[in-house]
Structure 1
Amino acid sequence: MGKLKRLSTQTLRGQIISSFYLVFILSIIATIITWVFIVILLLSLNNKIHPANYYEGKIPKLVKKIQEKGDIIDKANKETLNALIPLEGIDYQVIDRKGQIMYGSMSQSYISSETNLIKKLNINLFDEDQIIKYYPIFDDRENLLGAIGFRYKLSVMSSNPNDSLLLWFIYISAFCVPFFYFHLISYLVGKRFSERIERPFNEIIEGTHKIEKHDLDFSLAHINSTKELNQLVFAFEEMKEALKESLQKQWDMERERKELIAAVAHDLKTPLTIIQGHAEGLLEMEYYNIERQDQYLKTIMTSCHRSIKLINELNEISKVEQPEFKLDIKETDVNNYVSSKLREYTLLSEKKDITLKTALKNLQTDEHPLFIDVFRINQVLDNIFANSLRYTPVEGVISWETIITNDEIIFEITDNGKGFSGQNTTKIFEKFYRENTVKFSEDGHSGLGLFIAQTIVKKHNGEILAKNRIEGGAYFRIVIKNMIDGQ
């Protein structure tokens, strides 16, 4: 399975926290930059924008001019004061000494009596966010006639009524800027974060769809996200690999099953056909012929033996391939065992006029028995030796060398037959593989013996090797491990 080139060690919780801080810090930086720009904009409009106390600063001059006019209590002076006072930013009110409103732009009364008027002269009064201030009006003899009151606000907005829309826009913008940037940056960081989170899930979902279609040739190992999602991706990848391996075994078993059925049907067809034909021949005989009857019966018996051999080998395969199959490990004196097999193989070789040469090398540091399954090792050696006998010509030579160590037994069997026809000698250990097109019914060779032999050797943690000799003939090397610790 592929490995991630660079794994993220940050947890999902850590990434959420870091994303929050990133949004917070970037929002503050962007807000400060925007506020600096707004301040620069206001400074550039300094000649046009009046300060908050713009109208308050005009009042002392207005009072001085009004007081110079003397008696302004009379309503006839209203137009004069309207023209003198900037009514867009200042409201005024002329009252007599008793607090009665004579005229002006504000109708609300703030003075209730002469005493009250005297107390409130030249001091700031407040009406919510507005400032009211009364100034006295005297006649030529310095007698108090009344007062003029001004009402104004100390705000930039009220000081710039003509530019209120621009100022409102600037104020609202300055107020909304932090929220705008927080929302914008949250969206951008969130989108990046969500893409990083969504990508593994999308890949996994797509992977499940591929698995549904039996497509397991894909990998998620290039994905890099949070620590938890990386673990999820790896778990999915491991599950997919395990599923792929399991399904591949299942597909291989299904393929082998079909091949096995086809091969068995093919190999049984010929001997059964022979049996059927000869049995029908016997039934159709019109007169008794003992020689012909014996010939038919011998042929029938030979075909039966070959069919039984194939069935027995199929039974052996079904046993040794089972996961629960176990070897019958026993303490074995290998020297005695090899000597016994030597006598057996010598008799078989003499029957075919073949010379059997043997050699035994005991390299054990101390004499002690080895632990093997003798019955199964017999199957291995019998299959190998049977192959050598089958292909070694008359007056040929078979060599068998055994090497014994503390940890293993090595059998090397060579012959001077025709060897293997193919260069890829590993194929001879496949089920139903035969070196030529000769059918089972003709030579009794099913193509299962070497497969069984290889399976048994692997159960002994060993290995089996076959190749062609340079001087001609075949070479087998079987390594059997000492199973002193069991399976």
Structure 2
Amino acid sequence: MAAPFLFILLFTILFAHRIGKRLEPPIAKLIDGAARIRQNDLDFTLSDVGGSKELTQLASAFEDMRRALHTSLTTQWQMDQERRDMVAAIAHDLRTPLTIIQGHVDNLLERKDKQAERLDKYLHTIRKSTDRAVRLLDDMNLVSEIDQPDFILTKRPIDLMAFCQEKAEEYQMMCAAKRIDFQSSFHMSDDDPGRIDADVHRLEQMMDNVIANSIRFTPEGGQIRWRINIGPETAVIETADSGPGFTEADLSYLFNKFYQGDPSRSAAKGHAGLGLYIVKTLAEKHGGSVAAGNLPEGGAYVRIILKVRHPAFSCESVKSINK
């Protein structure tokens, strides 16, 4: 009477042993994978776990989770590293203007004979260094803002031609102060409305950064040419200068964050290598692009390309929006 029960018990033990032997390797791999994830080690795969159908499905879900975590953590680690690099770069570049300000203030406090001419010279140097420090901090804040995943543009339809003509007057005065000849030209295709959907503030930042970069490297007596060409599909905003142009290394890394080019040219210019990175990022967020290179006759150019909008509203509504 006990024989059938003994047979069933023996069969169950043998079957469980075989199942255990079959399930032990994939379960061990899953346990090892969980341990490695806990240690932030995601450089492995669980695509070949094997085992039963249920274990294969579990391993597949585990692998999907690992890949998602790897992507998320890699992005986070990269952002943290870029943030540390930004803080280090800005701190390094801020040291120079702050040291200059401190030295001149100390001289003013220590000197009893405060000559008007010397005082005026010191104050101008302090003002220049203060502007440099503020500019560096503004660039850092802007990059931190536009790099956020939830950053959005506040777009509205604008008359690009009128906007650029107004900016040209401003750039004319900036170049005149540096004794640089500024030439602007505007061209628009026949029957083209010349309107785009853009964030006006960000569009202005793009243009200002490119012009500021050209002014920085254009020598006194040089020339900057600003061309606006609005076609049926795209608007091209090109800035060309008579400066030294870009090196081969510049052309490869020009739009990288913190890239300053030749240190002998950049160290004394008071910038952290963020200007063209900002231009590229904002142009792409507008659905456009940016390119740069050297002119055949010498000098450099930066070209911003934006998509032209063809809205179905009247000229009167555009005028009211621009106002």
Could you say which TM-score interval applies, normalised by the shorter chain? Answer: 0.7 to 0.9
The residue aligned with 1:170 is none
Number of equivalent positions: 305
Alpha-carbon distance between aligned partners in 2 of 1:471 and 1:231, rounded to the nearest angstrom = 64
* Equivalent residue in structure 2 for 1:362, among 189, 196, 219: 189
The residue aligned with 1:204 is 30
Map residues 309-328 of structure 1 onto 2, 5 A cutoff. Answer: 309-328=135-154
Matched, 1:276 2:102: yes
Matched, 1:413 2:239: yes
Map residues 88-167 of structure 1 onto 2, 5 A cutoff. Answer: none
Alpha-carbon distance between aligned partners in 1 of 2:229 and 2:28, rounded to the nearest angstrom = 60
Q: Which runs of 5+ in 1 are unaligned?
A: 1-174
The residue aligned with 1:261 is 87
Matched, 1:443 2:241: no
Q: Secondary structure at the match of 2:125?
A: helix
For residue 440 of structure 1, report the CA deviation from its aligned partner.
Answer: 7.6
Map residues 265-344 of structure 1 onto 2, 5 A cutoff. Answer: 265-344=91-170
More helix by share: 2
Q: Secondary structure at the match of 2:263?
A: coil
Q: Secondary structure at the match of 1:423?
A: helix
- Structure number with greater CO (CA < 8 Å, separation at least 6) is 2
The residue aligned with 2:205 is 379
**Paired residues of 1:388 and 1:415 also in contact (CA < 8 A):** yes
* Equivalent residue in structure 2 for 1:235, among 61, 75, 92: 61
Alpha-carbon distance between aligned partners in 2 of 1:479 and 1:205, rounded to the nearest angstrom = 53
The residue aligned with 1:427 is 253
Change (3 A) 1:221 1:403: farther
Alpha-carbon distance between aligned partners in 1 of 2:193 and 2:274, rounded to the nearest angstrom = 36
Q: Which runs of 5+ in 2 are unaligned?
A: 312-323
For residue 379 of structure 1, report the CA deviation from its aligned partner.
Answer: 0.6
Alpha-carbon distance between aligned partners in 1 of 2:254 and 2:310, rounded to the nearest angstrom = 30
Matched, 1:458 2:284: yes
**Paired residues of 1:413 and 1:477 also in contact (CA < 8 A):** yes
Alpha-carbon distance between aligned partners in 2 of 1:324 and 1:307, rounded to the nearest angstrom = 28
Alpha-carbon distance between aligned partners in 1 of 2:208 and 2:165, rounded to the nearest angstrom = 15
Change (3 A) 1:283 1:248: same
User: In the alignment, residue 167 of structure 2 is paired with which amino acid?
Assistant: K
**Paired residues of 1:414 and 1:475 also in contact (CA < 8 A):** yes
Change (3 A) 1:330 1:277: same
Moved more, 375-384 or 331-340: 331-340
Q: Give per-residue Cα distances to partners, 1:364-395, cap 9 Å, x unaligned.
A: 7x637321111111110111122122223445
**Paired residues of 2:145 and 2:151 also in contact (CA < 8 A):** yes
For residue 411 of structure 1, report the CA deviation from its aligned partner.
Answer: 2.5
**Paired residues of 2:46 and 2:63 also in contact (CA < 8 A):** yes
Change (3 A) 1:373 1:322: same
**Paired residues of 1:469 and 1:475 also in contact (CA < 8 A):** yes
For residue 269 of structure 1, report the CA deviation from its aligned partner.
Answer: 1.3
User: In the alignment, residue 82 of structure 2 is paired with which amino acid?
Assistant: E
**Paired residues of 1:371 and 1:484 also in contact (CA < 8 A):** no
User: In the alignment, residue 271 of structure 1 is paired with which amino acid?
Assistant: P
Root-mean-square deviation over aligned CA pairs: 3.5
User: In the alignment, residue 335 of structure 1 is paired with which amino acid?
Assistant: M
Q: Secondary structure at the match of 2:83?
A: helix
Q: Give per-residue Cα distances to partners, 1:101-139, cap 9 Å, x unaligned.
A: xxxxxxxxxxxxxxxxxxxxxxxxxxxxxxxxxxxxxxx
User: In the alignment, residue 313 of structure 1 is paired with which amino acid?
Assistant: D
The residue aligned with 2:300 is 474
Q: Give per-residue Cα distances to partners, 1:142-163, cap 9 Å, x unaligned.
A: xxxxxxxxxxxxxxxxxxxxxx
Change (3 A) 1:424 1:394: closer
**Paired residues of 1:464 and 1:478 also in contact (CA < 8 A):** yes
User: In the alignment, residue 358 of structure 1 is paired with which amino acid?
Assistant: S
Map residues 12-27 of structure 1 onto 2, 5 A cutoff. Answer: none
Q: TM-score, normalised by structure 2?
A: 0.78
For residue 465 of structure 1, report the CA deviation from its aligned partner.
Answer: 2.5
**Paired residues of 1:356 and 1:399 also in contact (CA < 8 A):** yes
**Paired residues of 2:213 and 2:275 also in contact (CA < 8 A):** no
**Paired residues of 1:460 and 1:483 also in contact (CA < 8 A):** no
Change (3 A) 1:273 1:439: farther
Map residues 24-35 of structure 1 onto 2, 5 A cutoff. Answer: none
For residue 420 of structure 1, report the CA deviation from its aligned partner.
Answer: 2.0
Alpha-carbon distance between aligned partners in 1 of 2:296 and 2:20, rounded to the nearest angstrom = 67
Higher Cα Rg, which structure: 1
Change (3 A) 1:395 1:282: closer
Alpha-carbon distance between aligned partners in 2 of 1:295 and 1:435, rounded to the nearest angstrom = 31
**Paired residues of 1:372 and 1:483 also in contact (CA < 8 A):** no
Alpha-carbon distance between aligned partners in 2 of 1:439 and 1:272, rounded to the nearest angstrom = 20
Moved more, 447-456 or 380-389: 447-456
